[in-house]
């Protein structure tokens, strides 16, 4: 959804910006550009394609010495991928970069057209540059403030005014911006990964506040003109966490990081044999007075919610619905103070999930969010936050964030089932023990890497594929399917295994592989019947079971036996297999694993 960065200080700014854009590239990779002050002008260099194209272009330019500039890596929304539509955009005195969507840009554009002013690009962002330029009479604060009363939509802007060399202004509404004042200068960006090289201490620019960066300091001012001290945060990971560290891709690295991520998320919360959420600020009465739970998220986060539904309903006996965040607020949901809304988000910035959270709060619901990025919008706006400790996830395909989301859901379910007297001491202790052992089981499953690489060869030329399962395995199938399609571009669908014969079975042929999850013993016999149904239509079947299970010779083409865990923990190990299948299929098809076409990591627009 676009990555933006601004730097003013005592380093070569083009280098800082280009390094930062390389870190932020996961947010969009349609085009990239920088603009910087030089000899009383602002120089802009931009190009379509990846940041590496921009780095080459900048390298070929002799005169690029500067200490202050801004940079952008784009995920195209308004206006196609072209040189003209690349950021930064300049109009008159103003050069800016933008992450977000200006919803009323067309109306503003029409107003400008009346006085003969026209943008050169097709972007909503250039209209913002035109507007701020129009409102600018030497006072940047006034111009930005007035612009915010006119602009509708989501934005994070970094803005240069030609007559204020060395200074960057920034403001945000909806889209993220974090900043730090380091020894080397002032720096602001969409994500901490671009800042960590300079400082581990940073702040989230509060919404509707203007930041002024001049290299020596960062001043944060309310729209009313009052200076304020933003709340400082600290990250506990370092720059190596945001590098590939010898792995071929970030996705593979992140798959391998799951045992550590799980350990870091689970272990600190178990004290004296009990779950303790005091440091999370989560009271024991979160579930008191509520009579239902709604879990909201997008994509993989929503799929973690599907597992959550099964676990919460099983252990807490509370009705749970799982909602796709982009649908939620437009469906007039029934919400009241007896509803607990759990939002799940790796980035904590997904626009639809954030909007669902805001709607739930307005309706008086209790809100709890499971979030990976500290200080993100969803984390800040929820009544309760349960942080996952996965560290930065860079690959667009979410892996470690998913398994730590699962572990968080399990911990919440175990703790509140215990508090509410739904499970006895012995069961509680056994669940906690098994949850901790998941880390080792996941590690063992990662060790199946080579076998899964080999099996995945048979998917390389598939055009369509099905994932089937029942109960927790159906929820997992949804996750397996999204993972495969987003990075391998193979069309795949997840089906509840029993539902196939109600229509979908007509699509199954010997050209359509089926990945069958059969990790749940209580429905194992039913699953076997469903697998027979697809085998009878000639489908090649990759079967995944939890430990050794009775399997007839002709039941499947390939059989992956997960390290045996209690069935309810099988989603952790099965998820790893599905991630590796997606990963190797993408690799075998020669695709860009970490940056699949048309997608971006953090979806901060509707």
Active site (annotated) includes residue 158: no
**Window 295 to 314, contacts with ligand M6R (CB under 6 A):** 298-301
H helix count then E strand count, the chain? 17, 27
**Window 547 to 586, contacts with ligand M6R (CB under 6 A):** none
Q: How far is the CB of 480 from ligand M6R (least distance, A)?
A: 11
Q: How far is the CB of 349 from ligand M6R (least distance, A)?
A: 7
267 closest CA partner among 149, 435, 495, 141:
435
**Active site residue: 46, 50, 415, 601, which one?**
601
Q: How far is the CB of 538 from ligand M6R (least distance, A)?
A: 30
Q: What residues have CB less than 8 Å from 187, skipping those under 6 apart? A: 5, 6, 7, 9, 16, 20, 179, 180, 194, 195, 198, 199, 213
Q: How far is the CB of 355 from ligand M6R (least distance, A)?
A: 12
369 closest CA partner among 325, 421, 311:
325
By C-beta, is 293 or 401 nearer to ligand M6R? 401
Rounded distance, CA 284 to CA 277, Å?
Answer: 8
By C-beta, is 353 or 367 nearer to ligand M6R? 353
By C-beta, is 67 or 595 nearer to ligand M6R? 595
Q: Name the residue whose CB lies closest to ligand M6R.
A: 299
List helix spans (H) across 489-548: 524-535
By C-beta, is 255 or 301 nearer to ligand M6R? 301
List the one residue from 254, 486, 533, 594 that touches ligand M6R (CB under 6 A). Answer: 486
> Count of CB atoms within 10 A of residue 364's CB?
11
DSSP conformational letter for 333:
-
SS (H, E, C) 161-226: ECCCCCCEEEEEEECCCEEEEECCEEEEECCHHHCCCCCCEEEECCCCEEEEECCCCEEEEECCCC
153 closest CA partner among 602, 603, 604:
604
By C-beta, is 42 or 356 nearer to ligand M6R? 356
Q: What residues have CB less than 8 Å from 353, skipping those under 6 apart? A: 296, 297, 298, 301, 325, 343, 344, 345, 378
Q: How far is the CB of 400 from ligand M6R (least distance, A)?
A: 11
Q: What residues have CB less than 8 Å from 397, skipping those under 6 apart? A: 251, 483, 486, 487, 579, 582, 583, 593, 594, 596
Q: What residues have CB less than 8 Å from 570, skipping those under 6 apart? A: 472, 473, 519, 520, 546, 562
Q: How far is the CB of 331 from ligand M6R (least distance, A)?
A: 19
**Window 342 to 401, contacts with ligand M6R (CB under 6 A):** 345-347, 350, 353, 396-398
Q: How far is the CB of 10 from ligand M6R (least distance, A)?
A: 35
Rounded distance, CA 569 to CA 437, Å?
Answer: 10
Provide the Cα torsion 342, 440, 424, 319; round to 10°. 30
Both structure tokens of 444: 């063992």
- Placement of tokens 């999204």 in the chain: 482
94 closest CA partner among 77, 119, 76:
119
By C-beta, is 20 or 299 nearer to ligand M6R? 299
Q: Please identify, among the stretches 121-129, 156-164, 217-225, 341-349, the one whose residues bind ligand M6R according to the rule CB under 6 A.
A: 341-349
By C-beta, is 55 or 401 nearer to ligand M6R? 401
Active site (annotated) includes residue 458: no
From residue 261 to residue 300, what is the string marking binding to ligand M6R with x (rule CB under 6 A)? -------------------------------------xxx
Q: How far is the CB of 482 from ligand M6R (least distance, A)?
A: 6
**Active site residue: 2, 298, 365, 478, which one?**
2
- Placement of tokens 């600020």 in the chain: 281
By C-beta, is 85 or 376 nearer to ligand M6R? 376
Q: Please provide the DSSP assignment of 242-258 as one string.
A: GS-TT-SSHHHHHHHTH
Rounded distance, CA 169 to CA 38, Å?
Answer: 17
- Residue 595 touches ligand M6R, criterion: CB under 6 A: no
By C-beta, is 350 or 477 nearer to ligand M6R? 350
Both structure tokens of 11: 């380093």
Q: How far is the CB of 325 from ligand M6R (least distance, A)?
A: 8
Catalog residues that contact ligand M6R under the rule CB under 6 A. 298-301, 345-347, 350, 353, 396-398, 482-483, 486, 602-603
Write out the catalytic residue numbers. Answer: 2, 601
């Amino acid at each position: 959804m676009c990555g933006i960065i601004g730097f003013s200080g005592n380093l070569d700014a083009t280098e800082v910006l280009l390094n930062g854009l390389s870190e932020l590239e996961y947010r969009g990779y349609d085009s990239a550009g920088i603009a910087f002050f030089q000899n009383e002008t602002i120089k802009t260099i931009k190009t379509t394609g990846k940041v590496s194209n921009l780095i080459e272009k900048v390298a070929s330019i002799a005169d690029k010495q500067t200490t202050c500039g801004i940079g952008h890596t784009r995920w195209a929304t308004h206006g196609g991928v072209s040189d003209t539509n690349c950021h930064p955009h300049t109009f008159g005195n103003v050069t800016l970069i933008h992450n977000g969507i200006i919803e009323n840009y067309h109306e503003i554009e029409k107003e400008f057209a009346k006085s003969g002013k026209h943008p050169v690009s097709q972007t909503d962002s250039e209209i913002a540059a035109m507007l701020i330029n129009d409102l600018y009479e030497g006072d940047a604060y006034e111009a930005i403030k007035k612009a915010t009363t006119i602009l509708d939509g989501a934005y994070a802007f970094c803005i240069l005014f030609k007559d204020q060399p060395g200074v960057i202004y920034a403001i945000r509404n909806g889209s993220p911006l974090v900043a730090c004042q380091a020894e080397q200068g002032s720096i602001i960006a969409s994500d901490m990964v671009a800042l960590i090289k300079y400082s581990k201490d940073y702040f989230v620019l509060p919404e509707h506040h203007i930041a002024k960066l001049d290299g020596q300091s960062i001043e944060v001012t309310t729209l009313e003109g009052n200076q304020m001290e933003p709340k400082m945060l600290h990250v506990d990971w370092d720059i190596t966490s945001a590098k590939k560290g010898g792995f071929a891709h970030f996705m593979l690295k992140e798959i391998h990081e799951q045992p550590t991520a799980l350990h870091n998320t689970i272990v600190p919360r178990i004290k004296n044999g009990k779950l303790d959420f005091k440091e999370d600020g989560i009271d024991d009465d979160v579930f008191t007075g509520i009579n239902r739970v709604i879990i909201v998220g997008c994509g993989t986060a929503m799929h973690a919610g599907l597992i959550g539904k099964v676990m919460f309903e099983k252990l807490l006996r509370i009705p749970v619905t799982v909602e796709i965040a982009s649908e939620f607020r437009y469906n007039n949901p029934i919400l009241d103070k007896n509803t607990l809304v759990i939002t799940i988000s790796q980035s904590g910035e997904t626009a639809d999930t954030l909007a669902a959270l805001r709607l739930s709060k307005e309706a008086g619901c209790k809100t709890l969010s499971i979030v990976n990025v500290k200080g993100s919008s969803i984390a800040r706006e929820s009544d309760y936050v349960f942080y996952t400790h996965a560290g930065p996830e860079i690959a667009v395909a979410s892996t470690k964030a998913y398994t730590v989301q699962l572990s968080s859901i399990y911990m919440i379910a175990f703790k509140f089932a215990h508090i509410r007297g739904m499970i006895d001491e012995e069961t509680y202790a056994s669940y906690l023990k098994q949850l901790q052992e998941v880390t080792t089981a996941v590690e063992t499953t990662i060790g199946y890497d080579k076998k899964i690489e080999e099996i995945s060869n048979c998917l390389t030329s598939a055009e369509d594929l099905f994932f089937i399962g029942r109960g927790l395995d159906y929820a997992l199938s949804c996750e397996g399917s999204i993972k495969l399609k987003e990075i391998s571009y193979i069309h795949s669908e997840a089906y509840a295994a029993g539902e196939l014969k109600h229509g979908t079975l007509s699509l199954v042929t010997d050209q359509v592989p089926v990945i069958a999850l059969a990790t749940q013993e209580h429905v194992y016999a039913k699953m076997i019947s469903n697998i027979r149904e697809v085998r009878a239509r000639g489908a090649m079947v990759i079967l995944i079971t939890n430990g050794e299970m009775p399997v007839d010779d002709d039941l499947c083409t390939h059989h992956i036996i997960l390290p045996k865990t209690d069935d309810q923990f099988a989603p952790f190990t099965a998820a790893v297999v599905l991630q590796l299948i997606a990963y190797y299929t993408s690799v075998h098809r020669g695709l860009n694993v970490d940056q699949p076409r048309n997608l971006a990591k953090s979806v901060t627009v509707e």
